[in-house]
Amino acid sequence: MHIPDGFLSPITYLPATAVAAGLIFLALKRAELDADKIAGVAAVSAFSFVAMLFAVPMPGGTSVHLGGVGLMAVLFGPWTAFGALSLVLLVQALLFGEGGITAYGVHVIAIAFAGSVSAYTVYRFVKRFSESAALFAAGWFGLVIPAVIVAFVLGIQPLIAHDAGGKPLFFPFGLEVTLPSIMIPHLIAGFAEGAVTLMMVRFLQRYFKGVFDAV
Amino acid sequence: MRLLFGLMMLTPLLFAHDLVHRVSHAECIAVSFSYADQSDFSYQSYELYAPGETIPYQVGRTDKMSSLCFLPTKQGVWTLKAFGEDGHGATVEITVDDQLALGGYDRPLFEKFQKVFVGLALIFALFGGLYFYKKRRGE
């Protein structure tokens, strides 16, 4: 899901970086992260970092990986999850080339912000009916919503950045390619993410109740 | 005369065991070894197996720089077994493509997971720093 450098036009990544910077500034004010919670956030951030590194190549030139976005949002709330995931994405981009530096703003918006907020909102809504279903749905949405945004951002590149002859200057494939090639694998992988979220939360509730008491 | 003619006919046999040589510049596949602490693996023995073969294609010892070279003759996965005198060793699978060039190779476990270890250490260090900052501020 991570977009490399050179795929996005400046007209995309400059505003995205500005929006991401604003969201990070907001998160610094709104995230409720006292010292006692930091060990838990660090552990789940580490899980998220490792999960994102193991990408499975998919037909169509894309790859899919778990992200731990729903898990983070459910355990620590959307703003703390957003801040922690932004940090994970920054480490990946700056040190390991997992996702381009110019694409960092889009990743922050898609994965850290939209993923966390959608996962947390869905969790709160579905929890009224079934907590297990809510955890599963949080995992599923936490993976699929970022994939929708990434597919959309990539797919509009030929429309917004092309030369006089209509030749794309950056990512060359339109929405008719990006939506199916990114969405189909992520719709399926969402089930694995949902299952992992459900199992991880249950495991942490049982064995680490003192640390993970937010659920 | 017959004797002389007979001797002349036999003269090529004198060259039968003469070792001839040819020196050329060719692109070989080079493999370098080292221990994880970067100490060298020089003059250690190795065996190289061509794809599907059980008899070694090449045996020898690594050079002073802990390296060896081979010229592959067929496409597929070549297996290189290196044996250190201290009992340590390694098996490396090297993929040779249809152009008889290097297609890929098995990365050492450390190299494969180095990124994970460094990333995890960094994430824990950052959160550790945040923890001490928050503690000092009494949050």
Say yes or no: A157 contacts chain B, CB-CB below 8 A.
no
Sequential pLDDT tens for chain A (215 residues): 788 888 999 999 999 999 999 999 999 888 777 888 888 899 999 999 988 888 777 776 677 888 899 999 999 999 999 999 999 999 989 887 788 899 999 999 999 999 999 999 999 999 999 999 999 999 999 999 999 999 999 999 999 888 888 888 888 888 999 999 899 999 999 999 999 999 999 998 888 876 666 55
Beta bridge partners of B68: B31
pLDDT in tens, A58-110: 776 677 888 899 999 999 999 999 999 999 999 989 887 788 899 999 999 99
Residue B107: helix, strand or coil by DSSP? coil
Number of H helices, E strands in chain B: 2, 7
Closest approach of A38 to chain B, Cα-based (Å): 6
DSSP structure class, residue A168: B
Say yes or no: A33 contacts chain B, CB-CB below 8 A.
yes
What residues of chain B have any CB closer than 8 angstroms to a CB in chain A?
115-116, 118-120, 122-124, 126-128, 130-131, 134-135, 139
Dihedral in degrees, nearest 10, Cα atoms A184, A187, A188, A193: 140
Contact (CB<8Å) A50/B134: no
The pTM assigned to this predicted structure is 0.72
Contact (CB<8Å) A91/B120: no
Closest approach of B124 to chain A, Cα-based (Å): 6
For residue A85, the chain B residue with the least C-alpha distance is B123
Closest approach of B130 to chain A, Cα-based (Å): 8
| Residue numbers in A near B112 (CB within 8 A) | none
| Residue numbers in B near A50 (CB within 8 A) | 116, 119-120
CB-based contacts of A189, cutoff 8 Å, min separation 6: A64, A65, A66, A143
Closest approach of B131 to chain A, Cα-based (Å): 5
Distance (Å, whole) CA A75 – CA A107: 21
ipTM above 0.90, yes or no: no
Contact (CB<8Å) B123/A35: no
Cα A174 from chain centre? 22
pLDDT in tens, B92-117: 999 999 999 999 898 777 776 778 88
